[in-house]
Chains A and B, each alone.
Chain A
Amino acid sequence: MGAEELDVLFQERIDANEKIEPRDQMPEEYRKHLIRQMSQHAHSEVIGMQPEGNWITRAPSLRAKKILLAKVQDEAGHGLYIYSATETLGISREELIERLHQGKAKYASIFNYPALSWGDMGAIGWLVDGAAITNQVSLQKTSYGPYARSMVKICMEESFHQRQGYEIMAQLAKGTLEQKQMAQDALDRVWWPALMMFGPHDSDSPRTGNAMKWKIKRESNDVLRQRFIDKTVSQAELIGLTIPDPDLKWNEERGSYDFGEIDWDEFWSVVKGGGPCNIKRLNHHKKAHKDGEWVRKAAASYAQKHSKT
């Protein structure tokens, strides 16, 4: 069977909403697209531990500390679920990490912003995890079986993350004036980068075409972004915080909120490495990886020794 014929058969399976499994025939471009998207997703979960991990020792109570520890551990777990799913496409864990370190693989730009206050722990859980959930709920229906299954498990766990973040925001918002200001300040800084998490406008997203055709993506960037905004606005209102967008307005006709234009220059600048923390985040990952090298070698050596006896 020729490559073209195989591609037709593959598309028929996709159109019939069949899930593609690791050992199935698939176009090379489909495999490549998945490796790029899934590894970026996995790296985001892992790099995303840094801004929050930074606050574990400074959490305001033992309760808050335990919750944050559990959340950061979950993020590590999410990274590992998706790495495992990515490896089923025939790429090794070592190579995935190497590509991250070489800057060939990306991660979500949101983590290239600093987490400046305890309010950020609230805003990250509420908005960053909230945006991620919106995206991941949609990805539960992605065409690649292992990716879809990892999304189902992740979505179950993420709802705890979003609620813990919103609880922090609600607590701060009903606290002292300074505490309320801290929450508002975090919302002001995190709001726009959170909207950027959905990626460029559909019209500026060159890979969307194939991703939709192959049902890797099920809904477009703009549709998901709008959904996130529509469900988040009333959550802000409920705790008396103001979303930092003067153009935000309910549009009766569309049944959705109109909103202001995203600063795309900032978006592309952070994607290309110009964000406040790009270098710091990557260097930290490289260092942690290097510092763990002796542990991996010792474990390998121990396993080798014991497999002989």
Chain B
Amino acid sequence: MSEVKDTQGQLWEVFIQSKKGLPFKHAGSVHAFDKEMAIQNARDLYTRRGEGKGMWVVPADAIVAVDASDEESFFDPSNDKIYRHPTFYELPEGLKNM
């Protein structure tokens, strides 16, 4: 066996669904050496009090995130399309059920 480094394993991000039908929310991270260990460690760490009905674990390095310094320009295209919001429209007084 080749010399294996003594590490704490890979970093995994943990997402928990608190109730069926609700979105999965980031709960934190966990160290583990493989998928099976990751999901078991995540269960022991983040759901000791019935916090979860569903759980995802994802290798942290597989997550693609927006670069913090690019945030402004990255999300900029949404700022100039105010007509995407329902409050943009001028509608006759007395309109109901819309």
Contacts and interface: CB of A to CB of B under 8 A. Distances in A.
Interface of A: 21, 23-25, 70, 73-74, 77, 80-81, 84-85, 87, 92-94, 97, 149-150, 153, 157, 293, 296-297, 299-304, 306-307
Contacts of A150: 28
Contacts of A301: 1, 4
B33 A300 contact: yes
B1 A296 contact: no
A296 B68 contact: no
A38 B44 CA distance: 22
A198 to B, nearest CB: 27
7 contacts: A23-B65, A25-B68, A25-B69, A94-B6, A299-B33, A300-B4, A301-B1
Contacts of A23: 65, 67-68
A200 to B, nearest CB: 32
B84 interface: no
Interface in B21-72: 28-31, 33-34, 37, 44-45, 48-49, 65, 67-69
A304 B30 contact: no
Nearest to A305: B1
B8 interface: yes
A70 B8 CA distance: 24
B5 interface: yes
A304 B4 contact: yes
Given A92-B8, A300-B7, A300-B9, 15 more contacts: A21-B68, A23-B67, A25-B68, A73-B48, A80-B30, A84-B29, A94-B6, A153-B28, A157-B49, A296-B6, A299-B33, A303-B10, A303-B33, A303-B34, A307-B34
Contacts of A297: 4, 6
A134 B46 CA distance: 23
Contacts of A306: 34
Q: What are the 3 tightest A-B residue pairs by CB atom distance, in nearest-first order? A: A23-B68, A299-B33, A303-B33
A307 B34 CA distance: 9
